[in-house]
Amino acid sequence: MRILSGLTRILIVCLFVNLSHQCIAADGPRQRSILVLEEADFRSPFYLEIFTGISAAAKQNGKFPTVIYGESLDLARFPGPDYEESLVGHLKSKYAQRQIDVIVSIGVASAKFLQTRKQEIWPTAPVVYGFVPDLPETRALFLPDTTAIFARVRPTHLLTAARAIVPDLTHVVLVGGAWKNPLVYGQWKQDFAAAMPGLEVTDLSDAPLREVRKQVASLPARSAILTSAMYSDGEGTYYSPAAALARVAESANRPIVITSDTFLGRSGVGGFLLLPDSIGREAGEVAMRVLGGEAPSSIPPFNGDNVKPIFDGRQLKRWNVDEANLPAGSQVRFRELSFWERYYWHTTIAGSVMLVQALMIATLLRERRLRFLAQVEAGQRMSELAHMNRRATAGQMSASIAHELSQPLAAIMINAEAGAQALQHPSPDLGELRDILDHIRRDDQRASEVINWLRSFLKKEQTEPRELDFNVTVREVFQFLSVQAVARKVELATEASSSDIRVKGDKVQLQQAILNLVVNGMDAVAHLPADRRRVLGRTSLVEGNRAHLSIADAGDGILAEKTTEIFKPFFTTKAQGMGIGLSIARTIIETHGGRIWAENVPSGGAVFHVSLPLAAQR
């Protein structure tokens, strides 16, 4: 009963692969069958990959439907004649009614089993041997009408890998049962002696896992651990080889050389690795040839392409291994990518975005600077133009300026003469003399004011913005122009706001803007009869937060729809006009945060408005 239940557990009919829909078609080619006989358990990754490789090869063929049976003999874990007997009985009855067209035997143990027991179970089936070393002892196991694909990692393979990893190697530790198996690494002693005389070897192939773990924890510096698959520790404990390797690796203080790519990524550094998928595919391909009609004996046994030098990049880094020392043609897996490799796209995209951004920022900064320079240049031009405009205005007004000056000068002369005469009197009237001197001082002051105003008006540089009395600023302009107005027979009038209006700015510039408006007003009324030649300036405080000035005249008004145009540079309707007075006025007012505009009034004439923020708001 116990044996039977054990058998049920271990004997697995693995897969039933239908490779083509043709298999159910009555008139299609006959279905062929493959029996995969594995020496170990199908569920271990290594043997599962072999089986998968065989299935894949069969599937690729596609010439006829194929069914694949699979048996795990599991002979390593179940040694002994009793088990073998029950196994034979089981297989005999299981396959009594099934035709097996080819047996794919995987592993030496499986080959051995077939050598003695095939006749009883599958007497006529041809055999393809896979995963067997090319040794006389193995060839001796082969039955007639068979072929083989060899696969083998030699003891020297492990040594070569160990020397690549530890260039000054002097000592190796052997772990895993296969070191004792004459058909696997059994002859290591001779091989090592030939390859590296004097190599110190610690053979732990018989030692329990516990002992192995202890020993590998404190190995000398120039040593390496050479592992073969470890199924049992000789004390009745069975392992999956991968789990046993992981436990050894946990305590090992030296690099571990391995023999199968199914162990890679479990702390083994790498080595010449058996590739179970290739082993399976190669055996599967040969099996398909046999199913296709070729006699196995006509296919000479050959060495498969199923062992490759492969290493774990993370372990190479851990043990500081120079990849240049690895055997020729080595592959490195799990290579830790550099930051650049890992984030190539991220960094490229981020870098490009940053580059584009930097370019955009640079362009914007450049544009901003160019704009700033243009503004500075425009400002300079404007200020030069304004200066020219002031000089031209002063030139035009030179007659009235001369008049402004001659009046106080003449009065000074008269008063000085009157003073001189008074002094000739034996007892001069001191009170009269004091009055005369007062007049002289006042007239001198008046002349000085005209000169000072003119000097500042003609000055080229801008002055610092100052808080100004808006009413006074406007009145001074009207006063200055009064002489010219008299000469042109124009009445200039101002109506100052009763409120105190304080603005902040450059007095000369603001007065220039106002002056341009008043002069234009005088021009506008010049041709009118005397009673209509009037320009009125009016200041007011608007809504308590803006200074307002209007300059009104009774002229013909602004040309239709030109109330905006007139502020553009060089717009003029006058024969001798330059067309810059209003554009300068606008620039000055806007620079002071204000607004200037013009309108015609229905009763006739034009009104120019200037609105400025109060000093408190600037």
Binding site for ligand ADP (CB under 6 A): 516, 520-521, 524, 553, 555, 557-558, 566, 571-574, 577-583, 606
* Core vs surface per residue 515-554: b (16+ CB within 10 A) or e: bbbbbbbbbbbeebeeeebbbbbbbbbeeeebbbbbbbbb
The CB-of-585 to ligand ADP minimum distance in angstroms stands at 8
Alpha helices (H) along 95-208:
108-121, 136-139, 155-165, 188-195
Of 133 and 521, CB closest to ligand ADP: 521
Instruction: Find, among 58, 287, 272, the residue nearest to 151 by Cα.
Output: 272
The CB-of-401 to ligand ADP minimum distance in angstroms stands at 20
Of 206 and 565, CB closest to ligand ADP: 565
CA distances from 170 to 196, 211, 295 (A): 9, 22, 50
* Residue 109 CB-density burial (10 A; 0-12 exposed, 13-18 middle, 19+ buried): buried
What's the angle, vertex CA 224, arms to CA 219 and CA 227, rounded to 5? 110
The CB-of-537 to ligand ADP minimum distance in angstroms stands at 12
The CB-of-431 to ligand ADP minimum distance in angstroms stands at 51
Of 414 and 528, CB closest to ligand ADP: 528
Is residue 450 classed as helix, strand or coil in its secondary structure?
Answer: helix
Of 450 and 517, CB closest to ligand ADP: 517
Give phi and psi for 203, each to the nearest 5: -95, 105
The CB-of-491 to ligand ADP minimum distance in angstroms stands at 15
The CB-of-522 to ligand ADP minimum distance in angstroms stands at 9
Q: Which residue has the tokens 């080819």?
A: 102
Strand residues in 164-204 grouped as ranges (E) = 171-175, 200-203
The CB-of-507 to ligand ADP minimum distance in angstroms stands at 21
Number of residues that make up the chain: 618
% helix, strand, coil for the chain, step of 5? 50, 20, 35
Of 305 and 599, CB closest to ligand ADP: 599
Q: Which two tokens stand for residue 409?
A: 């000068």
* Core vs surface per residue 202-240: b (16+ CB within 10 A) or e: eebbebebeebbebbeebeeebbbbbbbbbbbeeeeebb
Q: Which two tokens stand for residue 4?
A: 């039977």
Of 509 and 583, CB closest to ligand ADP: 583
Contacts of 259 (CB under 8 A, 6+ apart): 153, 157, 158, 227, 228, 229, 271, 272, 273, 274
Of 68 and 607, CB closest to ligand ADP: 607
593 CA to centre of own chain? 45
Of 45 and 579, CB closest to ligand ADP: 579
Of 408 and 581, CB closest to ligand ADP: 581
Of 165 and 566, CB closest to ligand ADP: 566
Of 172 and 525, CB closest to ligand ADP: 525
Which residue's CB atom is positioned nearest to ligand ADP? 581
The CB-of-536 to ligand ADP minimum distance in angstroms stands at 12
Distance CA 109, CA 90 (A): 18
The CB-of-370 to ligand ADP minimum distance in angstroms stands at 29
Distance CA 91, CA 265 (A): 37
The CB-of-478 to ligand ADP minimum distance in angstroms stands at 15
Which sign, positive or negative, has the C-alpha torsion 76, 81, 85, 86?
negative
Q: Which residues pair with 149 in a beta bridge?
A: 130, 302
Of 288 and 386, CB closest to ligand ADP: 386
The CB-of-456 to ligand ADP minimum distance in angstroms stands at 22
Of 209 and 580, CB closest to ligand ADP: 580
Is residue 256 classed as helix, strand or coil in its secondary structure?
Answer: strand
Distance CA 77, CA 75 (A): 5
The CB-of-493 to ligand ADP minimum distance in angstroms stands at 15
The CB-of-349 to ligand ADP minimum distance in angstroms stands at 57
The CB-of-485 to ligand ADP minimum distance in angstroms stands at 14
Contacts of 68 (CB under 8 A, 6+ apart): 14, 15, 16, 17, 33, 34, 35, 36, 54, 55, 58
Of 235 and 590, CB closest to ligand ADP: 590
Q: DSSP string covering 362-422, please? A: HHHHHHHHHHHHHHHHHHHHHHHHHHHHHHHHHHHTHHHHHHHHHHHHHHHHHHHHHHHHH
Q: Which two tokens stand for residue 27?
A: 């008139």
What is the SS3 string spanning 33-68?
A: EEEEEECCCCCCHHHHHHHHHHHHHHHHHCCCCEEE
Distance CA 50, CA 287 (A): 13
Pairing state of beta strands 223-227 and 534-542? unpaired
Of 181 and 550, CB closest to ligand ADP: 550
The CB-of-577 to ligand ADP minimum distance in angstroms stands at 3
Of 227 and 389, CB closest to ligand ADP: 389
The CB-of-526 to ligand ADP minimum distance in angstroms stands at 11
Q: Which two tokens stand for residue 319?
A: 């043990």
- For residues 400 and 487, the answer to whether their CB atoms sit within 8 Å is yes
